[in-house]
Structure 1
Amino acid sequence: MRRGVVSLGVAGSLGPDAIARIAPAVEQAGFHTLWVNDTPDGDALAALAAAARVTDRLRLATGVVPVDRRPAAEIADAAASLGLPLDRVTIGIGSGTAKQGALARVRAAAETLHRAGLPRVLVGALGPKMRRTAVESAEGVLLNWVPPIEAREQSAALRALVPSTHVAVYVRTAIDDAARDRLEAETARYASFPNYAANFERMGVDATDTTIRDVAELAPALEAYTAAADEVVLRAIVPDDTVTAYVDFARRVAPDRM
């Protein structure tokens, strides 16, 4: 059975300097890709440029840039000006918070990025229409807040549409008891959003079912997720946002150790 690769996700709000100190440990631990969330207080593209300068083979991805806040042309210009290594970079995009015209906005953004020479685009997608748009307009989809069985079913449906599509799944992960409160708060926050609450209800799961909550759950959860998707992104939830905490997380969940 083909199994998915394992990647690591962090927040852009850490800043380029901190991410440049974390990235070599992520590469050394054997992760496939370092994913960096783009947030209003954290530029994922600048962070990836910093990570690229201190790594050789680690793949780099944004997860995701909302194109209603950062238009695709702006993303393409930033990627070019920062000199991102396109052979290692995936641009993850999302529709953002503006609901009207979301599908068309994502299609147009993917087309703009491709025309600008960015060869690999993934789309963060929650509902079935956006997932279909993702695999038809881009190189794949980034699933979020889904349990393994749902990831497997969604992956199968998407590959039936486009066999070559890449399916990644983002999984919030805490392995330290001291990080549990932060994971609980993150889970509750997303469960309070109407679109996510409706999605959890459709799947028939609680939001907590889509997370890894301690180190004892890690190995069986990874086995299930890597059997379901092409790439599993462990979004690190650590006790505090220090370089030491993220480096420790990377070393403890290194793919070679699982």
Structure 2
Amino acid sequence: MTSLLSLGIAGALGPDAIARLAPTVEAAGFHALWVNDTPGADSLAALAAAARTTTTLTLATGVVPVDRRSTSEIAAQARDVPQGRLVLGIGSGQSRTGALARVRAAIAELREHTSARILVGALGPKMRALAARDAGGPLLSWLTPAVAAAQADEARAQGTHPHVALYVRTALDEAALGRLEKEAAQYAGYPNYAANFARLGFTAADTVLIPEAFATGIQSYRDAVDEVVLRAIVPGDDLADYERFVEQAAAVL
């Protein structure tokens, strides 16, 4: 199996720049543009802008935390994006209690108000099972190809044709390696991720793609899941950096 290949970017780039970047992503042949959602960086506003400058590119949120944004707010903004091109990636957020119930309720409520596909950012086995059974599938992150393949097989056994997507942090410019190392160290320091890395027996740094290993490493990931999202780690956070990443990835692939 060779999976779909998509691009993930920081929502902090902003709607105007993302609308300018989206046609380049579409022309390069990427399946989808994933935009993360953080305080002050509205992924759905960015995707609505990107929808106006593209025609076929799938547009996805990766992910909207349902403890910070209400399902009514998410559904209202989702109507500004063509439903057939929209993937709503949602996650439990920072709350440590009631996460499963909160996400399950959000899935049910969103399905009443939108026809977009819903994926769930999932780390542990219970959330992955919920994603496979109740939503369109899990959005995985920070995994080696072997573990990603195992978790994908697990999801397929639990759900009815779930779509398994995977974020892979990727730097294609030597100047971005410092930022990639910093991001890996940051996630390794989060208690829930640290515990997960300890259980699985690898580090955050073992899951990333760097320039010299990209051509071979990406194929291993594409063999593991249905969609690989290259989360672009670039030297800076401006449009030119992301455009250069798209060009570098397209040249290799």
TM-score after normalising by structure 1: 0.96
1:144 partner amino acid = S
Partners of 1:155 and 1:9 lie apart in 2 by 20
Task: Say yes or no: does 1:123 pair with 2:120.
Answer: yes
Tell me what 1:134 maps to: 131
| CA–CA distance in structure 2, aligned partners of residues 117 and 192 of structure 1 | 36
1:227 aligns with 2:223: yes
Q: CA deviation at 1:99?
A: 1.2
Name the CA distance, whole Å, in 2 between partners of 1:23 and 1:117. Answer: 23
Deviation at 1:137, TM superposition (A): 1.2
Could you say which residue in structure 2 is the equivalent of 1:193? 190
Structure 1 position 59 matched with structure 2 position 58:
yes
Listed one character per residue, the Cα deviations across residues 77-118 of structure 1 (whole Å, up to 9, x for unaligned) are: 1112xx210000000000000011000000000111111023
Q: 1-side partners of 2:176 and 2:252: how far apart?
A: 21
Decide whether the 8 Å contact of 1:19 with 1:50 is kept in 2.
Answer: yes
Name the SS for the 2:84 alignment partner. coil
**Percent of aligned pairs with the same amino acid:** 56
Partner amino acid, structure 1, of 2:40:
D
CA deviation map 1:177-203 (0-9, x unaligned): 100111111111000001000111111
Q: Specify the SS of the correspondent of 1:172.
A: strand
The structural deviation recorded for 1:257 is 4.2
User: Is residue 90 from structure 1 mapped to residue 87 from structure 2 by the alignment?
Assistant: yes
What is the identity, as a one-letter code, of the residue corresponding to 1:31?
A: F
Q: Quote the Cα distance in structure 1 between the aligned partners of 2:24 and 2:180.
A: 23
Task: Assess if the C-alpha contact under 8 Å between 1:76 and 1:118 holds in 2.
Answer: no
Could you tell me how far apart the structure 2 residues matched to 1:257 and 1:186 are? Answer: 24
* Aligned residue-pair number: 253
TM-score by length of 2: 0.98
| Deviation, structure 1 residue 136 | 1.2
Q: How does 1:151-166 map to 2 (within 5 A)?
A: 151-166=148-163
Cα deviation for residue 220 of structure 1 reads 1.2
Looking at structure 2, the residues matched to 219 and 59 of structure 1 have their Cα atoms a distance apart, in angstroms, of 24
Q: Deviations over 1:138-188 (max 9, x none)?
A: 001100111100000000011011240000000100011100111111111
Q: Show structure 1 runs of 5+ residues with no match.
A: none
- Secondary structure of the equivalent of 1:23? helix
Letter in 2 for 1:192: G
Moved over 6 A (4+): none
Q: What one-letter code is carried by the residue in structure 1 that aligns with 2:115?
A: L
- Distance of 1:40 and 1:197 partners within structure 2: 24
Give the counterpart letter for 1:157 in structure 2: E
Amino acid at match of 1:224: S
Equivalent position SS for 2:176: helix
The one-letter code matched in structure 2 to 1:229 is V
1:34 matched residue in structure 2 = 33
8 Å CA contact 1:179–1:239 kept in 2: the answer is: yes
Indicate the RMSD between aligned Cα atoms, in angstroms: 1.0
Residue 216 of structure 1 aligns to a residue whose secondary structure is helix
Bigger shift: 110-119 or 189-198?
Answer: 110-119
